[in-house]
Amino acid sequence: MSHTNAELSVGAPLTVLSEDEEMFRASVREFAEGEIRPRVEAMEEHAKLDPALIKHCFELGLMSIEVPEEHGGAGGSFFNAIIAVEEISRVDPSVGVLVDVQNTLVANAFLRYGNDAQKQNYLPQLAENKVGAYCLSEAGSGSDAFAMQTRAVEDGDSFVINGRKLWITNGNEAEIFIVFANANPEAGYRGITAFIVEKNTPGFSVGKKENKLGIRASSTTEVILEDVRVPKENVLGEFGKGYKVSIETLNEGRIGIGAQMVGLAQGALDAAIGYTAERQQFGKAINNFQGVQFTLAEMATQLEAARLLVYNAARLKDARRNFVKEAAIAKLYSSRAAEFISSKAIELFGGYGFVKDYPVEKFWRDSKIGAIYEGTTNMQLQTIAKLITQGKQPLVP
């Protein structure tokens, strides 16, 4: 794969991709530049995704990249989903996480654990026009996800669910929710079960939208379940195996968050390279000064290392090889790299970097969530430590 000097000057990825993957990247970038970038400022100001943009994402197949063609999807690879999240997040990480959750969490959960009837019913909807959401966290159940208080009680041919979920990405836009509840508290985490809940189910409601530091256009909401009756056929996976659904799906989702952070960092670096080439001080562009050059070099190095880690984890997943450690390392490093790169971009912009007229302060605000959601930095360190010291990590402690 060849690159021109112009491409290299803006930090183009050097990781070798196939011709089809390069074409896919180019098509997603064209969409991001043409359709997302003109909307970023308004979506950020109103803290809401543009519905027309979400419709475009469906029309282009970006919301169902891995869904098989017989279910209306693109029939692509997990790696393609990672490329899409990266390229979209380069322009707006809020849109990036919409696409990420739809593909790496919701669709993947159906693909891995759904039975034939569930796949035939829900995958075409997720491919055509319905956003999905993943409801695991609660007010008192974050890193300790198995401490959840949401309960599901068997009642005839249904389960009745009561509880509250917090920090639900896509909460306002979603119509199909994967909800985790404990249906047998006496069994501890072995009572946790995953349920498919549709938004129009009586007793189901979406609560307040959080007023966030970053990724402001992405809706992060509370989900409230009050005597929500769900038929038994809407159990996703096996009864009492919801802990397995959550752990294994989140392992994949962490690679998606890594891709979001890589895209974000690329956007910040692109902006910094462009600005330092134009900004004049002492009679010349500031990118002629060694201090600026070294800063850009450090940023580019961390970005490329993060990208390689994310791509490696995604390749392992597609190859059906063990990728848990690699996913944790990729998320850990990429979130740190994104925060570092976006922070340095602000410094290179000087006073302009501190105001909203320029894009880098938004990238920095958006970067902070990378160390928190889909497994905090400390949880990634714990996973990595267990795997390198014990050689094998059980699903649960």
User: Catalytic residue numbers?
Assistant: 374
Amino acid identity for residue 171 in this structure: G
Q: What does the alpha-carbon distance between residue 163 and residue 354 come to, in Å, rounded to a whole number?
A: 41
**Among positive and negative, which fits the CA dihedral 274, 275, 279, 284?**
negative
C-alpha count within 13 angstroms, C-beta hemisphere, residue 255: 31
Q: Residue 396, exposed/middle/buried by CB under 10 A (0-12, 13-18, 19+)? A: exposed
List C-alpha distances in Å: 322 to 90, 315, 317, 325. 28, 11, 7, 8
Q: Which of 316, 263, 301 has the alpha carbon at shortest distance from 25?
A: 263
The span from the CA of 228 to the CA of 343, in Å, is 45
Listed residue (301, 298, 324) closest to 312, CA to CA: 324
Q: Which amino acid makes up residue 96? A: G
| Interacting residues of 343 by C-beta distance below 8 A, sequence separation 6+ | 364
Q: Burial of 373 by CB count in 10 Å (0-12 exposed, 13-18 middle, 19+ buried)? A: buried
Please state, in angstroms and as integers, the Cα–Cα distance from residue 10 to each residue in 6, 271, 272, following that order. 7, 9, 10
| C-alpha distances in Å from residue 317, one per residue of 25, 47, 204, 311 | 19, 34, 34, 10
Distance CA 117, CA 96 (A): 30
Residues in CB range of 346: below 8 A, 6 or more apart: 353, 354, 360, 361, 364
Contact 174, 132 (CB under 8 A): yes
